[in-house]
Structure 1
Amino acid sequence: MKENNHTTQQNTFELLAPAGSLAIFKAVVAAGADAVYVGGSKFGARAYADNFSDEELLEALDYAHLYGRRVYLTVNTLLKNSEIEQVCAYLQPFYEHGLDAVLVQDFGVLTAIHERFPDLAIHTSTQMTVTGVEAARLFSGYGVTRMVMARELSLNEMKRIREETGMELEAFVHGALCYCYSGQCLFSSMLGGRSGNRGRCAQPCRLPYAVMDEKHREYKKDAYVLSLKDMCGIKDLRGLADAGVYSLKIEGRMKQIPYAAGVVSYYRKYIDLFLSGQETQVSEGDYRAVLALGNRCGFTDGYYHRHNGSDMVTFTKPNYEKTNEALQQQILRTYENGAAKIPVRGELVLHQGQAAHYRVKTQTVSAEISGMEVMQAQKKPLLAEDVKSRMEKTGDTPFVMEDLSIRIEDGVFLPNGALNQLRREALAELQKKMLKPYQRQEHPQKAAEEKLPEACEKREKRKECVFAVTGERRQLAPVLESSCVTSVCLDMEAYDRSTIMEELKEDANAVMQKDKEVYLAMPRIFRAGTAEWVRQILPDIKRMGFAGVLVRNYEEMALAKETFLGSEIITDHNLYCYNDQAVRAFAGQGVTKNTVPLELNRSEIKRRYNEESTMMLYGYYPLMTSAQCVHANTRGCDKKRGLSYLKDRYQVQFPVKNFCTYCYNVVYNSLPVLLFSNLEELKKAGIRDFRMDFTMESAKETKAILKLYEEFAAGSRRQYPKEWENRYTNGHYKRGVE
């Protein structure tokens, strides 16, 4: 395998490689990556990768820029109030050193970075679950120059986003696939306190589960139903180009040199062939070689051409396999020393009585240095061949002397130390000039301002409200009978597409007849097909008298602001407001109320601005929202909403609901969270609105839960009934996440 000396130029694709260490970084540059994404010492979504120290990151920036490549830093975790103040100070030296872009998940972090560094490119992380044109338009106003789309999008959906918004798009092309829409997973968090949103996923999706029907009858044993194969899109370059995708992203910041550099080298080969007009099919030998570098039960082409499918699931084993040790070693030997040194040409002039003059240049940049005065030789004059041998040395610099001309007068002398200094200074100046275009002026640090979110300051204090979200129509009757419920949120997931308009209108009227406010909960995922349908029925929905809307993604938030779906826009818990900067940012988009994130503990909630927040007191936490379908993948698709269960090795059962109208699954926690006993503590934290989410409860169960709440709210009960023991969880209220 020959080293790839590819240099970046304007072309159709950017090949974007991962690097978990400086050694891997240099290897993928050598293998032909146009850009590299890395994690630094803080705030990255791969907490268990080696990651880069601050000094290594500065070195990586210089290394990349000398070879005309780009570096993107991941700041793609959710940050708490105690952390967000550190973000801009952390980024400052990298910004000044020429950082090309930053990847972000947290909306608060995004707006803080844009305010502090308005000329720094921002890429929305796949953790933001961007699936549609509405989000692209929204983010374009915040310095976002590129969207890393949800892995689940098809090529057609990507094409639509590109054509309708002009936003630069980045798509995953190779590596591991998450079962869950990225940014929508709480599975690892709830099972072990290791949050995927904080870069600490323990991958419970790679464990075996028994599958059970709605009556808890087991019909599939020990299947890896949540484990997806690795994707490989090397055969889809034409489709990606037609879709308008610019950046092709390889997953794998936890991988080593043979995998990272090897995969990059093969993609580089076929990208270059494609860009030169030679649409050469990927050879079987090369495809097998890429497979040998690492795969999980073979490859899938992901979601490019289909919404989901059982052929994407590992089922029998999730083992990660790599073969062909000879190939691994060959790649390691080829790339472990990094890219070939940059060729330079030199010209040295030594004339008696004049300052020594040395000029070095690349194809585009030159540097000139004058040294000490050249003397007449008293004993042994300088010989041209000796001088040339000394000046050709480049040591540990990134340069190699390609050609050196020497003009030396007879009988002159210069100390070896002076020659060495001349050489070192010239190469250092050359490197400085090559890097200067990337570097920025220092930005003055702004002092952090302690104040309420600007868009919230003028609002009047609200009276306390109790929301009930109904995920099934059978729950509505007991909710309407409850005197404590002030507002009812009708979940669109509770209705089938064929009957939703009649039933939704009927239920909305029933709520208003009870003098309760009625809200509409939007779908968890809002992809193109759903968006088109919702826009068609929107005029009729607006006439139903909804007081507001509960939105669960950025697409819906933008749509709600655009179309005014009632006077209130409430963001759900998965539009994360870990920090007050995010609260302010959402308020600036017309959001009147947010939901307290489910991963914060009691002390973190107390340190948060809660006057505009609602808190979930009861409900089964949604652990995963997936484009895959447990029911369809194990029993076949019947296009009917239903309930099944996943049983783990500890015999714990996790409910799974498939929502066929929107074609996604939700895996719920095995027990509901119950925080009624913490009601007064939450009020002291400034929370005025409380929420109960009903998902699979019967009417009788719904009534019992509401009665229990009424007793706690009235002060007539302080402890849960004995029969409730082992039937609920405190969620993260006490323990939180790292």
Structure 2
Amino acid sequence: MNHQPELLAPAGSWEALVAAVQNGADAVYLGGKMFNARQSASNFDQEELARAVEYAHIRGVKIYVTVNILLANHELEEAMGFLHFLHNIGVDAAILQDLGLAKLAREVIPELSIHSSTQMTVHNLPGVQLMQETGFDRIVLAREMELEEIAIIKGETGADLEAFVHGALCICYSGQCLMSSMIGGRSGNRGKCAQPCRLQYQLVDQRGKTLVPADIGEYLLSPRDINTSAHINKLVAAGINSFKIEGRMKRPEYVATVIRTYRNLIDRALAEGQSFKVQEDEARDLAQIFNRDFSPGYFLGNPGKELMSFKRPNNRGIRLGRVKGYNRQTKLVEVMLEEPLRIGDGIEVWVTEGGRSGIEVNSILLKGKQIDFAPAGSLVGLAIPGKIKPGDRVFKTNDASLMELARETYSSARETKKLPLHFHIRARVGEPLYMKVADDTGLTVEGYSEEVGQEAQKRPITEEFLREQLDRLGNTPFSLGGLKADLEGKVMVPMREINELRRKVLAELEQKRLRGRKKPGVAQHLAERRIRGALKELEMDRASNYSEPLLSVNVTDLTSLEAAVSYGADMVYFGGESYRSKGLITEQDIKAGAEFCQKNGASLVLSSSRIMNDQQLSKFIGLLNQVRDFPLAGVLVGNLGLLKILRDFTDKPVVADFSLNVFNSATLHYLKALGVSRATLSPELTMKQVQELARTSPLPLEVLVQGAVPMMTSKYCPVGSILGGLAPGKKCGGPCHKQKCGLKDRMGLVFPLEVDQNCHMHLFNAKDLCMIEDVFTLAQVSGVLRIEAKKEDHGYVAKAVNHYRQALARFKYGHKDDYKDREAKEDLEELSNSGLTKGHFFRGVV
């Protein structure tokens, strides 16, 4: 073992914070009332944040505050003020998602440590390097990374790396999910995800035929929880610095149980080395407190269908036993217990008919007697409603004893976690009692009693007496670690004096511990001056406005490229991302496409995937080398790692894709400094926000105006996992080749699905974005209007490009024609099976 990893706990409430600290967390991450990705948690107001820092720091625990959402321009000033506040109260780090806020944070409050959120989708070596250059002190990796990849990155960069090791898993790469946002207006990038991935879906083909047998389950996007308890040694060996537990929305009992268990596991793993194993009671506690079944996530490779909880999206508890029958005399269901059961436990029966039947146990009958507790192996009678049948499985979803144990750690005034102190006591007749205390960090405090020692008539002070008294540290966070007693003669000091001196010394030690953790604050007037200066700079560097906007199209086949150019596209994105339903794009296809564009007065920009591990990045750079002499007009970049590479690799223009989450002017400035020549705005912005950004943008802007917006990119593929048989030790059979599929929801909407050349699944909105009626408005503020048509055929592309070309021609000559716009919209609506949407242009997520 080469290092001691940090155990990082979640806290969505004060009780959860106390539970985390008292059960052994080294650090806690939590959110304020604003700007954090768990808006549904209780969270902490400013007074509570300051109190939380004091509470944690006295006990040697760090506090990280999440400021991990995308920010609109009008929020930047307040967000920077919040970062200033966090620094001044002594927060150990802020966790950020927004690239623009990170840029400003380094300028405005460089004294504050910042961590890059998993929402930044950092998933390759150059991405980590870029975040280091940007000023991040820690990088929270994408959950999809494998241990081998992490170890290489650690070796190459020495970066402080954090990874989620237990808890809920997002099915999409964090920061790349628009599903909740596009369906219901609740954006994951704004902390309001409604978790539509936990709902029921059917995998269907192009004709709407269901492809998945009913017995597999309907929760096709609902993953199991991560549980790496059995692999702690491997995680440490990979170089992960911080083991992060997911769960800011979870109850404090969950936090207490999981942190207590992982604290014991980590300590034992470091001590035992290769002989380390998870004990049965530890595994049971982790499963009992909450599970959707478990998997190690992607750490050991892509688990395929073993990643998923197809049959239920919520807590399943642990198996309690099976129904044996129904006792007509007692009118109770008879259950053979495989685990203990007591009054107050929660149970659920997976009934053959009707789904689930759950109750809190308030009566247990064993051999005709009412009891409070039944051991495993008992046949008990329980009052369970519903159509219960023999053979039905019974699960314990709530263990009253486990909950009580957890609750005691955060509800009791007595502290569970104690910091050992070393006392030095000197007592002499005629002198004040001297007390010196030292903590494990080397801090010391000393003091003297008010009264002097007296000659003892009966019971002089002894070392045993002092040890007994000093060990009564009660509700303090300290314990007696050692005692040096320097006693001369038969001396006596009143007990009240000893207790009062101990109280004063410990109070001073607490303050000293706080002062030792706190960095020098930044004066309010200085912070405000820095903030004003940074915001003013954002307005000084403006790009020239384009009077004649261009029309771009994103395609994945050569025929569609030719259709786009033939019907008037100025620019085509093509070549670096293929969909298996259409076949892989070759170097010859790129050459033919580039020459066709050049011949017809259009330009070709090489597209790329938004998710690329280091091997895939290397392959893409190889492709770029092969086609660099073709007439290419640039590269479309959708991830931070590729952005870092291209800055030093090519002089071709770089276009930032919408997956980089451009939400404010500061992000535009950040991208310009990295060599980006044009930026595609986030599809979550409103028309008003687009207009505001355009007025001060240092870069030409691009906006999506037509097509099925990609809502999700995932390393998990339902087609390969369910139909292709992908699982640990089993390769995918490749059913995605030449086949188009979709996910149908409970309302009958079908969300198209494609699989790219790297086996990433892309899920698209059921409704097509269509802004044909608003071309006049957008053309005034955006240099490029884009049609997203990667999954479409040449017929769709031809019709869409033709309508937008005509709308832009009308704009050029100032001829607004509402009738033609409506006519075009009706024609475009025929291309979408589920109708059209204007996305967030007129509703937004802020």
* Length-normalised TM-score, structure 1: 0.89
How far apart, CA to CA, are the structure 1 residues paired with 2:429 and 2:700? 78
Q: How far did residue 536 of structure 1 move?
A: 2.4
How far apart, CA to CA, are the structure 2 residues paired with 1:120 and 1:159? 28
How far apart, CA to CA, are the structure 2 residues paired with 1:231 and 1:373? 59
Aligned twin of 1:466: 551
Aligned twin of 2:256: 261
Q: How far did residue 523 of structure 1 move?
A: 0.9
How far apart, CA to CA, are the structure 1 residues paired with 2:66 and 2:502? 38
How far apart, CA to CA, are the structure 2 residues paired with 1:32 and 1:413? 37
Secondary structure in 2 matching 1:654: strand
Moved more, 457-466 or 330-339: 457-466
How far apart, CA to CA, are the structure 1 residues paired with 2:723 and 2:109? 52
How far apart, CA to CA, are the structure 2 residues paired with 1:384 and 1:462? 91
Aligned partners of 1:195 and 1:201 also within 8 Å: yes
Pick one of 673, 683, 690 that aligns with 1:598. 683
Q: How does 1:201-220 map to 2 (within 5 A)?
A: 201-220=193-212
Aligned partners of 2:563 and 2:797 also within 8 Å: yes
Q: How does 1:277-288 map to 2 (within 5 A)?
A: 277-279=272-274, 280-288=276-284
Q: How does 1:703-718 map to 2 (within 5 A)?
A: 703-713=798-808, 714=810, 715=815, 717-718=817-818
Matched, 1:304 2:299: yes
How far apart, CA to CA, are the structure 2 residues paired with 1:627 and 1:82? 35
Q: How far did residue 79 of structure 1 move?
A: 0.9
How far apart, CA to CA, are the structure 1 residues paired with 2:48 and 2:715? 38
Q: Which amino acid aligns with 2:510?
A: Q
Q: Which amino acid aligns with 2:511?
A: K
Pick one of 585, 588, 592 that aligns with 1:506. 592
Q: Which amino acid aligns with 2:278?
A: V
Pick one of 226, 233, 256 that aligns with 1:231. 226
Aligned twin of 2:402: 327
Structure 2, unaligned runs of 5 or more: 318-395, 455-459, 725-732
How far apart, CA to CA, are the structure 2 residues paired with 1:320 and 1:312? 15
Matched, 1:674 2:666: no
- Structure 1 160/641 Cα, relative in aligned 2: closer, same or farther at 3 Å? farther
Q: Which amino acid aligns with 1:655?
A: P
Moved more, 127-136 or 446-455: 446-455
Pick one of 111, 118, 121 that aligns with 2:103. 111
Q: Deviations over 1:652-672 (max 9, x none)?
A: 11101111x111011100111
Pick one of 699, 720, 729 that aligns with 2:822. 720
Q: How far did residue 675 of structure 1 move?
A: 1.0
How far apart, CA to CA, are the structure 1 residues paired with 2:157 and 2:625? 24
Q: How far did residue 53 of structure 1 move?
A: 2.1
Secondary structure in 1 matching 2:836: coil
Q: How does 1:413-424 map to 2 (within 5 A)?
A: none
Pick one of 287, 291, 313 that aligns with 2:287. 291
- Structure 1 701/683 Cα, relative in aligned 2: closer, same or farther at 3 Å? closer
Aligned twin of 1:379: none
How far apart, CA to CA, are the structure 1 residues paired with 2:267 and 2:435? 38
Q: How far did residue 175 of structure 1 move?
A: 0.8
Q: Which amino acid aligns with 2:400?
A: E
Q: How far did residue 621 of structure 1 move?
A: 0.8
Aligned partners of 1:549 and 1:565 also within 8 Å: no
Secondary structure in 2 matching 1:673: strand
Q: How far did residue 681 of structure 1 move?
A: 2.1
Moved more, 421-430 or 275-284: 421-430
Pick one of 547, 564, 570 that aligns with 1:486. 570
Aligned twin of 2:560: 475
How far apart, CA to CA, are the structure 2 residues paired with 1:666 and 1:189? 16
Identity %: 31
Aligned twin of 1:584: 669
How far apart, CA to CA, are the structure 2 residues paired with 1:370 and 1:682? 76
* Length-normalised TM-score, structure 2: 0.78
Q: How far did residue 391 of structure 1 move?
A: 9.9
Pick one of 697, 701, 722 that aligns with 2:796. 701
Q: Which amino acid aligns with 1:596?
A: L
Secondary structure in 1 matching 2:208: coil
How far apart, CA to CA, are the structure 2 residues paired with 1:733 and 1:290? 44
Pick one of 619, 626, 631 that aligns with 2:714. 626
How far apart, CA to CA, are the structure 2 residues paired with 1:361 and 1:555? 47
Matched, 1:662 2:751: no
Q: How far did residue 622 of structure 1 move?
A: 0.6
Aligned partners of 1:228 and 1:314 also within 8 Å: yes
Moved more, 42-51 or 459-468: 459-468
Q: Which amino acid aligns with 1:720?
A: R
Q: Which amino acid aligns with 2:280?
A: E
How far apart, CA to CA, are the structure 2 residues paired with 1:459 and 1:602? 20
- Structure 1 600/335 Cα, relative in aligned 2: closer, same or farther at 3 Å? same
Q: Deviations over 1:598-623 (max 9, x none)?
A: 11112222332445211111121111
Q: How far did residue 331 of structure 1 move?
A: 2.9
Structural RMSD (CA): 3.4
Aligned partners of 2:8 and 2:245 also within 8 Å: yes
Aligned twin of 2:631: 545
Aligned partners of 1:468 and 1:694 also within 8 Å: yes
Secondary structure in 1 matching 2:288: helix
Matched, 1:729 2:834: no
Q: Give the number of aligned pairs.
A: 720
Aligned twin of 1:616: 704
Matched, 1:651 2:748: yes
- Structure 1 587/478 Cα, relative in aligned 2: closer, same or farther at 3 Å? same
Aligned partners of 2:433 and 2:493 also within 8 Å: no
Q: How does 1:83-102 map to 2 (within 5 A)?
A: 83-102=75-94
Q: How far did residue 504 of structure 1 move?
A: 1.1
Aligned twin of 1:26: 18
Secondary structure in 1 matching 2:797: helix
- Structure 1 12/430 Cα, relative in aligned 2: closer, same or farther at 3 Å? closer
How far apart, CA to CA, are the structure 1 residues paired with 2:842 and 2:801? 23
Secondary structure in 2 matching 1:532: helix
Matched, 1:428 2:528: no
- Structure 1 375/438 Cα, relative in aligned 2: closer, same or farther at 3 Å? closer
Secondary structure in 2 matching 1:269: helix
How far apart, CA to CA, are the structure 2 residues paired with 1:350 and 1:116? 56
- Structure 1 448/355 Cα, relative in aligned 2: closer, same or farther at 3 Å? farther
Aligned twin of 2:163: 171
Aligned partners of 2:233 and 2:273 also within 8 Å: no
Q: Which amino acid aligns with 1:366?
A: T
Secondary structure in 2 matching 1:339: coil
Q: How far did residue 101 of structure 1 move?
A: 1.7
- Structure 1 391/234 Cα, relative in aligned 2: closer, same or farther at 3 Å? closer
Secondary structure in 1 matching 2:661: coil
How far apart, CA to CA, are the structure 1 residues paired with 2:723 and 2:433? 82
Moved more, 648-657 or 95-104: 95-104
Aligned twin of 1:367: 445
Pick one of 149, 152, 176 that aligns with 1:157. 149
Q: Deviations over 1:387-427 (max 9, x none)?
A: 999999878654467879799999999998x9998665543
Aligned partners of 1:19 and 1:28 also within 8 Å: yes
Aligned partners of 2:77 and 2:531 also within 8 Å: no
Aligned partners of 2:575 and 2:589 also within 8 Å: no
Aligned partners of 1:100 and 1:121 also within 8 Å: yes
Q: Deviations over 1:257-291 (max 9, x none)?
A: 32212112222222212212443222334323321
Matched, 1:640 2:737: yes
Aligned twin of 1:515: 601
Aligned partners of 2:555 and 2:791 also within 8 Å: no
Q: How far did residue 311 of structure 1 move?
A: 1.6
Matched, 1:439 2:518: yes
Q: Deviations over 1:533-573 (max 9, x none)?
A: 1232221121112111111110111122121161x211111
Secondary structure in 1 matching 2:233: helix
Q: How does 1:130-145 map to 2 (within 5 A)?
A: 130-145=122-137
